[in-house]
Amino acid sequence: MEWKFRSDLPIYSQLVEQISLGIVSGEFPPGAKLPSVRDLAMEAGVNPNTMQRALQELEREGLVYTQRTAGRFVTEQIGVIQGARRTIARQSARIFLDDMKKLGYGREEILSLLEEEKEENHGDSGV
């Protein structure tokens, strides 16, 4: 997993975002055991307490759970993962629509733009 951090947001919330994305995209599949806090912190190059905080937040959201002795696991509840997927998709859509608005695009223009792009990318993205 590649970790990237923006400078204008807290590190822990970016960790939450990136691990969620890892879960949604299947990089951390349902039911998979997560690496230890220390290993994840080292991989991301962040403070272990910050990683711990991010994992606690993911636990609160239901995407991961802790088994007392065995460690942390990705949830097996597909519904929760689907919910997270939808949340991330909506966020991306909102950012996209904001950008389009700044460019002066209206509803019709945006839709036809999406159609055009879909045609062009048909081969490689499979959309």
State the nearest-atom distance from the C-beta of 53 to another protein, in Å.
8
Q: How far apart are CA 97 and CA 92, in angstroms?
A: 9
- Site membership for another protein, residue 105 (CB under 8 A): no
| From 25-33, 42-50, 82-90, 102-110, span contacting another protein (CB under 8 A) | 42-50
Comparison of 9 and 78: residue with beta carbon closer to another protein: 9
Q: How far apart are CA 113 and CA 115, in angstroms?
A: 5
Q: How far apart are CA 99 and CA 116, in angstroms?
A: 18
The only residue of 16, 46, 63, 81 in contact with another protein, by rule CB under 8 A = 46
Alpha helices, DSSP H, located in 2-106: 11-24, 37-44, 48-60, 78-102
Q: Token pair for residue 31? A: 């039911």
Q: How far apart are CA 81 and CA 73, in angstroms?
A: 13
State the nearest-atom distance from the C-beta of 50 to another protein, in Å.
7
- Site membership for another protein, residue 106 (CB under 8 A): no
State the nearest-atom distance from the C-beta of 110 to another protein, in Å.
28
Residue listed under structure tokens 């403070």? 47
- Site membership for another protein, residue 48 (CB under 8 A): yes
- Site membership for another protein, residue 38 (CB under 8 A): yes
Partners of residue 74 on adjacent β-strands? 64
State the nearest-atom distance from the C-beta of 66 to another protein, in Å.
17
- Site membership for another protein, residue 10 (CB under 8 A): yes
